[in-house]
Amino acid sequence: MHFNHVSFDREQITLKQVNEDGTRYYVTPKGSKYPSVTTVLAEHSRQGIMEWRNKIGHAEAQIITQRASSRGTKMHKLCETYLNNEELSYKTPIEKELFQSLLPYIHNINNIHCLESRMYSDYLRLAGTVDCIAEYNGKLAVIDFKSSSKLKKKEYISNYFMQCSAYAIMYEELYKIPVNRLVVIIGVEGEPPQLFEEKRDNWVNDLLHYRDLYETRYKTN
């Protein structure tokens, strides 16, 4: 399958990424320094993660976290490579199986606007790297690729929707193109993949709440 990439006559945005005290920030062309949206939304799950780490032990939790991070990085790279119409290379059978399980959903994507693109919003005072903005079944959407060791319940992934809504706002602010749909595709080890769809405006208030909570906690303004 060949994916079409939409060309626009627009200025390329360059964001410098810096890490301070373990926190990722992006510096905008005008010199503003914004935290990544994933950093800010970590406030949403902070308590639950601490309880989980205390329950299973910090050493075991670290192993699981590192494995999940590695799996997610590989998944994102495969999705990016495939959507760029480039040749795939798998390092492990599990990696291949997990990615190929996503293909029925990935093949609904076309007319790609952004792929692994850095963006920011002065309104949100946030920045980040979006997985993909493209048409999904013919309608423009922010598309996020995730991986998991087990099936997810929708009520447990609100941070995914808030993250996607942030990217939708950034894209509209920068390029004046509204994106109202959010699509989250999750590859699950040993299970069929999951697809969740939402509307951007359902998650903006929650996003702003956690943005404000972060700024209050760390006094970033």
In a domain, 6, yes or no: no
- pLDDT computed for residue 94 by the predictor: 82
Q: pLDDT tens-digit profile of 111-164?
A: 999 999 999 999 999 999 999 999 999 999 999 999 888 899 999 899 999 999
In a domain, 8, yes or no: no
In a domain, 3, yes or no: no
Task: Please say whether the beta carbons of 158 and 193 come within 8 A.
Answer: no
Global confidence as pTM = 0.89
Q: Closest Cα partner for 146 from 124, 165, 136, 161? A: 161
Q: Which helix (H) or strand (E) holds 64?
A: helix 58-83
Q: pLDDT tens-digit profile of 9-57?
A: 777 788 988 888 777 889 999 999 999 998 899 865 655 555 445 555 6
Q: pLDDT tens-digit profile of 11-21?
A: 778 898 888 87
- pLDDT computed for residue 115 by the predictor: 94
In a domain, 53, yes or no: yes
Task: Please say whether the beta carbons of 42 and 82 come within 8 A.
Answer: no
Query: Measured in whole angstroms, how far is the alpha carbon of residue 53 from the centre of its chain?
Result: 23
Task: Please say whether the beta carbons of 185 and 76 come within 8 A.
Answer: no
> Hey, what amino acid is at 123?
Y
Q: Closest Cα partner for 184 from 138, 124, 130? A: 130
CA atoms within 13 A on the CB side of 208: 10
In a domain, 159, yes or no: yes
- pLDDT computed for residue 76 by the predictor: 85
Task: Please say whether the beta carbons of 75 and 98 come within 8 A.
Answer: yes
In a domain, 4, yes or no: no
Question: Residues with Cβ < 8 Å from 13, sequence gap 6 or more?
Answer: 29, 117, 118, 119, 120, 174
In a domain, 10, yes or no: no
Whose tokens are 């919003």? That residue is: 121
Asked whether the CA dihedral 138, 143, 149, 152 is positive or negative, the reply is negative
Count how many domains the chain has.
1
- pLDDT computed for residue 129 by the predictor: 93
Q: pLDDT tens-digit profile of 85-105?
A: 999 988 888 888 889 999 999
Residue 72's pLDDT band, with cuts at 50, 70 and 90, is low
CATH number of residue 178's parent domain = 3.90.320
In a domain, 81, yes or no: yes
Whole-number Å distance between alpha carbons of 115 and 121: 18
Residue 207 has a CB neighbour count (10 Å cut-off) of 25
* Residue 149, domain extent: 16-218
Whole-number Å distance between alpha carbons of 179 and 128: 16
